[in-house]
Amino acid sequence: MSQTPSVRRRGRSPRARLSAVLLPLGLLAAGCGSARDAYENAFYLGVPEPVTDQANDTYELWLGTVAAAAVVGVAVAGLIMFAVFRYRKNSDQLPRQVRYNLPIEVLYTVVPFVIIAVLFYYTTVTQNFVNELTPDDEGGAEVNIGVVGFQWNWTFRYDDEGVQTTGAPGAPPVLVLPTDTTIRFTETSPDVIHSFFVPQFLFKRDVIPGRANTFEITINKEGSYVGRCAELCGEKHSAMNFEVQAVPMSEYRSYVSALGDDPANQIGTGAGQGAVRTAEESAEQIEGTRS
């Protein structure tokens, strides 16, 4: 005769019990990368640490939205609990039947409207700031970067200097950018829609064939940031990773001028996409300019 489920559960081996505990923990650890990442993600309420002026605004909008949702959530849960415990059934007599409480109906129509209007206002203000471009008659942005997303990699053009680099399979391209500088990106694609996404910018923008999408950011923190393609663009979409290295302006200048020493990197010559550079090569070169 077969065992009942409860008997089977009691009969679980210690190893099965241990793995039942360790598996979710392992998955949790894998999802977070490290304890530090987990701490930072919790601290920033699920978003990566913002590193641009625009991302700071987006993050503040996120905080405000979470706070509003928390207040609404606590209020609704409190009212439900109040009603459940205060008015639970205590006799078989039907309670007094009421309908059309005008003040309450006005309240629950007006309050959500006010909440939505406030959220809408701050969303619009933040969106306008994130989408803002420096007017060209004021000289435009200080640095202009071209982003070409193609199946399945990226070319980064340093338009002010006329040089560019391209990634290759197994060698993610590196985009070196100056900190505390207004940088304008112009995105183009020769094939399908891609999306330029750097999680720590709290921002992504689609790269669309036949159109030049633009945006500007100001990075306020030095460091290396992972970048990805955030639009499913075909078989090797997941291989379209890149790396952003944010460095001071002087290091940015020497990096870009050194790129020009290699004729393959000059725009309009050779294959026209620039030499492939690995993250290590770029890091070494930046290190060289520091000493």
What letter does residue 18 receive in the DSSP assignment?
H
CB 173 within 8 A of CB 156: yes
x/- binding map, residues 115-144, to Cu ion, per CB under 5 A? ------------------------------
228 binds Cu ion (CB under 5 A): no
Nearer to Cu ion, 193 or 279 (CB): 193
205 binds Cu ion (CB under 5 A): no
Nearer to Cu ion, 184 or 194 (CB): 194
Taking the complex as a whole, the smallest distance from the CB of residue 262 to Cu ion amounts, in Å, to 26
**Neighbour count for residue 221 (Cβ, 10 Å):** 14
Nearer to Cu ion, 59 or 154 (CB): 154
Taking the complex as a whole, the smallest distance from the CB of residue 113 to Cu ion amounts, in Å, to 40
51 binds Cu ion (CB under 5 A): no
Among 143, 175, 183, 240, binds Cu ion (CB under 5 A): 240
Contacts of 149 (CB under 8 A, 6+ apart): 187, 188, 189, 194, 195, 196, 207, 229, 233, 240
Q: How many residues bind Cu ion (CB under 5 A)?
A: 4
Sheet containing 182-188, strands listed edge to edge, beginning at the edge strand earlier in sequence: 163-166, 153-158, 143-150, 182-188, 213-218
Burial of 207 per CB tally in 10 Å (0-12, 13-18, 19+): buried
Which of 224, 216, 217 shows the shortest CA–CA distance to 286? 224
198 binds Cu ion (CB under 5 A): no
Q: Determine the interface stretch with Cu ion among 43-51, 132-140, 187-195, 243-251 (rule: CB under 5 A).
A: 187-195
Alpha-carbon distance 196 to 100, whole Å? 53
CA 231 to the chain's CA centroid: 13
233 binds Cu ion (CB under 5 A): yes
Interstrand relation of 143-150 and 194-198 (parallel, antiparallel or unpaired): unpaired
Give the footprint of Cu ion on residues 84-103 (CB under 5 A): none
229 binds Cu ion (CB under 5 A): yes
Nearer to Cu ion, 147 or 163 (CB): 147
Alpha-carbon distance 193 to 208, whole Å? 5
Site residues (vs Cu ion, CB under 5 A): 194, 229, 233, 240
